[in-house]
Amino acid sequence: MIQKLFLRLTALTFVFIFLFYTGIPKVQAENKQSTLSLTAEEKSYISSHKSLKIGYVQDRIPVSFADENGELAGISRYIFDHVSELCGLKFEYVSLPTEDVTYDYLLNGGFDLVSSVEYNKENQKAKGILISNPYLSSRKVVVARDGLDFRYDANLSIAISTGSQTLKKVLNASYPNFKLVDYPSITDCFDAVNAGKADLMIQNQYVVEHWISKPIYEKLKVIPVLGLDDQLCFSAVVAFGNGNGASEKDGRTLINILNKAIASMSEDEIGSCTIQAIMENQYRFTLPDFLYRYRYAVITLGILILVILILTILFVRQHIHLAESKADAKVRSHFLSTMSHEIHTPLNGLIGLNYLMSQKLDDKEQLKDYLQQSTITANYLLSLVNDMLDMSRLQTQNMKLELHPMDLELVLNTVSSIAKNSMSDKKLKYSINSNLTWPCILGDEVRIQQVLLNLLDNAKKFTPKGGKVELSIKQEMTNNGKILTTATVSDTGRGMSEEFQKRIFDTFAQELDTVSKGNQGTGLGLPISRRLALLMGGDLTFVSQKEEGSSFTFTFTAQSTELPKKYDDTATQPADEKKQHTRILVAEDNELNGEIILELLRSVGFDAELAENGKIALKKFTESEPGTFGIILMDLLMPEMDGFETAKAIRDLDRPDAKTVRIFACTANSLSENKDKALASGMDDFIEKPLKIDKLLKMINA
């Protein structure tokens, strides 16, 4: 920690000095005339050489590296551009390979100069190159694991990047006891020391300061060592030994020009280049970094989710056992076997994926693939739990419809878009026949969409490749003035046996031959859909013939209405101006959940702040200037002060924004009584966890 603090204090000292004198401006051209005192020979060289090819080392962030566009970036780029401005030479920057660069490679490649060459006696004496005075002076530092110190007389293994051949010569001469081990890159050297494959590594202090911030290197320390200066200079590539005296003469002329340009640069100018590059290229945390830093919290959360799922399943199982005590024992046994498979399979997958991710923290592409698989598996588990809870509510008559003005055309567009994507993979022909006379109705959009998607998913599941699935929908007026909507999903699938048709709407019923053909499910979808249809004043019926197909008809009644003017389903993203002026306070007692919500909000441009419980949220809002926070995301179950109490306390404050700040209940507990209680306490709306950012954005824009 002391060594890391030393590096950070060094960097802060540079920043302070630079701020004191210049305020961190970029080094830019000021259209000033060059004041270099050039000889006639040097002026002639400049006029006859319009562009010089410079080779640079591409993995020395922030000193010298290739940016996302493949261009030279870092401290070197700022200094080189300034040198070019001073002497009038134009530079073409070409990256060098990471392995050892030979003299023949440089000569045959047409390089005029090589940058980031160490200014030392070895290079001053080397044949085939001429070196300039240093353009950047810093230090080399030693990196080691905690508990291991740098000793000159010890038999230590030193990780050296392949391109640092001059450093190898210096170390061999100064520390003969050291065993030098080549690694392809600087990050490979870090990894080797971190894993214990090498004892130490030696590298430029700016480079070390950049990479030591990576969380995976938290056990590494930095050791400043006297006598390890790191002075970088230009090297001119000249063809020696073949009688080409003109090449050597041109090389010396070029070096003289560069030396004059370097000498004319003040310490403030070089300091400006250094600080600007360091600040622009600070290490940025990645998703693997986040997972590594909070790995224990992630593992704990995973275990907690697993326990909650198991407890939920046990509770629902017991509830179902009591509610369906007269059900066929064979059906229940089959369901429990199926549920065990349905739950254990994704849970095993999640546990396996968590292990694989812990082994691949540095493989960004592989980790991204594992995370995508994890998301799909977690979403399946979530839908499974939601289905069981829906069935439990429907059986106990605790399910309430959320009736709002809705556009049935938009619902059909959403459903069809999802259906097309899923059916195209199976090469099914999908079509929709819509005849809506009253598309604007008062209904529960989520539940209507749930039934339609369930029917379409079943049709896809039980229809072989190349088959057809059709959705047709029509409307008519009933005698009591309500709108009767009839939606029929037909397929050319394998159909159902007469025996299974008798119990198709029984809870957890499944046809055994479909299970054996890889179409296993929980048997909850159709019973839930039927009960939802009945709750909407309609029904769910079917006709089916074995090996010819099935047709399910979903009916429901609703009042005709008009959509409010503010209704706009396309408003899924807040305007940039709205993002800039909407600060969000997140009241969340779970640390990991809080971090995730903050990252989600910041990823779409919002400014967000975390309060660890309701009491802290109330304090932050009370002590803020009126209008500071435009939205509060309020967890309901928190220590010190729960979400209901906090919302009521905020609404009771005597300040202009206490009544206008928008408060959204944000919780995994979605029971209707909690929604009613949240609204009664002064909250504006209710959003369920896991938080879906697109749904939140629609609520914010409403």
Residue 222 has pLDDT above 60, yes or no: yes
Enter the CATH code of domain 2-284. 3.40.190.290
| Whole-number Cα distances in Å, 343 to 47, 83, 336, 690 | 76, 66, 10, 19
More confident residue, 314 or 73: 73
Q: How far apart are CA 114 and CA 333, in angstroms?
A: 76
What is the 3-state composition of the chain as percent helix, strand, coil, each rounded to the nearest 5?
A: 45, 20, 30
Supply the pTM of this predicted model: 0.43
| Whole-number Cα distances in Å, 196 to 10, 106, 192, 527 | 28, 35, 6, 59
| Whole-number Cα distances in Å, 411 to 444, 565, 570 | 11, 18, 13
Q: How far apart are CA 607 and CA 8, in angstroms?
A: 28
Question: Scanning the structure block, which residue is given the tokens 């403030």?
Answer: 268
From the number of C-beta atoms within 10 Å of its C-beta (0-12, 13-18, 19+), residue 246 rates as: exposed
Residue 635 has pLDDT above 50, yes or no: yes
CATH superfamily membership of 404-560: Histidine kinase-like ATPase, C-terminal domain (3.30.565.10)
Q: How many CB atoms lie within 10 A of CB 293?
A: 15
**Residue 287 pLDDT level (bands cut at 50, 70, 90):** confident
Contact 335, 512 (CB under 8 A): no
Q: What is the pLDDT of residue 31?
A: 39
At residue 57, the 3 state secondary structure works out as: coil
Q: What angle do CA 638, 640, 646 make, to 5 degrees?
A: 70
**One-letter identity of residue 697:** L
Q: How far apart are CA 404 and CA 407, in angstroms?
A: 10
Beta-bridged to residue 566, according to DSSP, are: none
CATH superfamily membership of 576-701: Response regulator (3.40.50.2300)
Q: What is the pLDDT of residue 486?
A: 95
Q: How far apart are CA 527 and CA 533, in angstroms?
A: 10
Q: What is the pLDDT of residue 629?
A: 93
Greatest mean pLDDT range, 73-82, 115-124, 313-322, 344-353: 73-82
Least confident of 38-47, 366-375, 601-610: 366-375
Q: Closest Cα to residue 129, out of 54, 55, 235?
A: 235
